[in-house]
């Protein structure tokens, strides 16, 4: 097997519903296999009660995503609805003079299939979907193998230089409701 470089990864996920899966993902790959460095925002890290939306957006970009190179979106049943997940994806795609854009990929959690029989693009974050359509991002089912996860992370890292992302969608102003976004 070829040696795959290690990348700093930002993990975007629905804190209330998918904390278990995020913790399992980190446990399986971060320490045991040294596959990535966790850069996720945790509950309570940002005092959103006293900040404007723009301040929160900037804090995510400047304090959490800034030195990561790949963003992984863990996709559960409610992930597409979350305003901050949309912002984390949008921030990841922003290519600034200091903070460069991240590679992007989605991983469908096993819990997703307890609600949905099969993959439905209208039940993943719309900004992630836009980038899957243009080829900038890819989506995978849950991965248990350390080599495979390192490989897909590295592929996402490399795509960020070859394909232009689609970050044209307006950012969420509020969390969404309903069964799907389309």
Per-residue pLDDT of 111-139, as tens digits, reads 999 999 999 999 999 999 999 999 999 99
> Is the pLDDT confidence value at 32 over 60?
no
Confidence of residue 64 (pLDDT cuts 50, 70, 90): confident
> Is the pLDDT confidence value at 95 over 90?
no
Q: Where are the alpha helices (DSSP H) in the chain?
A: 15-26, 53-60, 83-93, 112-115, 126-133, 146-159
CATH class in words for 7-159: alpha beta
* Average pLDDT over all residues of the chain: 90
> Is the pLDDT confidence value at 145 over 80?
yes
Confidence of residue 172 (pLDDT cuts 50, 70, 90): very high
Confidence of residue 33 (pLDDT cuts 50, 70, 90): low
Strands of the sheet containing 137-141, edge to edge, are 36-38, 7-12, 70-75, 103-108, 137-141
The per-residue pLDDT for 31 is 65
> What's the predicted TM-score (pTM) here?
0.92
The owner of tokens 């590679």 is 103
Task: Classify residue 44 as left (phi > 0), alpha (psi -120 to 50) or beta.
Answer: left
> Is the pLDDT confidence value at 58 over 60?
yes
Confidence of residue 97 (pLDDT cuts 50, 70, 90): confident
- How far is 49 from 110, CA to CA, in rounded Å? 32
């Amino acid at each position: 097997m070829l040696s795959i470089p290690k990348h700093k990864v930002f993990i975007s996920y629905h804190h209330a519903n998918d904390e278990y899966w995020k913790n399992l993902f980190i446990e399986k790959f971060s320490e045991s296999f040294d596959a990535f460095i966790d850069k996720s925002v945790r509950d309570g890290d940002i005092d959103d009660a006293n900040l404007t939306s723009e301040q929160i957006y900037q804090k995510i970009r400047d304090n959490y995503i800034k030195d990561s190179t790949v963003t992984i979106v863990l996709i559960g049943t409610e992930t597409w609805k979350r305003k901050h997940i949309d912002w984390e994806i949008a921030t990841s795609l922003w290519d600034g003079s200091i903070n460069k854009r991240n590679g992007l990929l989605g991983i469908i959690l096993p819990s997703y299939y307890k609600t949905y029989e099969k993959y439905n693009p209208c039940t993943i974050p719309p900004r992630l979907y836009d980038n899957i359509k243009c080829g900038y991002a890819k989506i995978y089912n849950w991965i248990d193998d350390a080599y495979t996860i390192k490989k897909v992370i590295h592929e996402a890292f490399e795509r960020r230089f070859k394909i232009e992302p689609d970050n044209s969608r307006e950012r969420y102003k509020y969390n969404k409701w309903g069964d799907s976004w389309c």
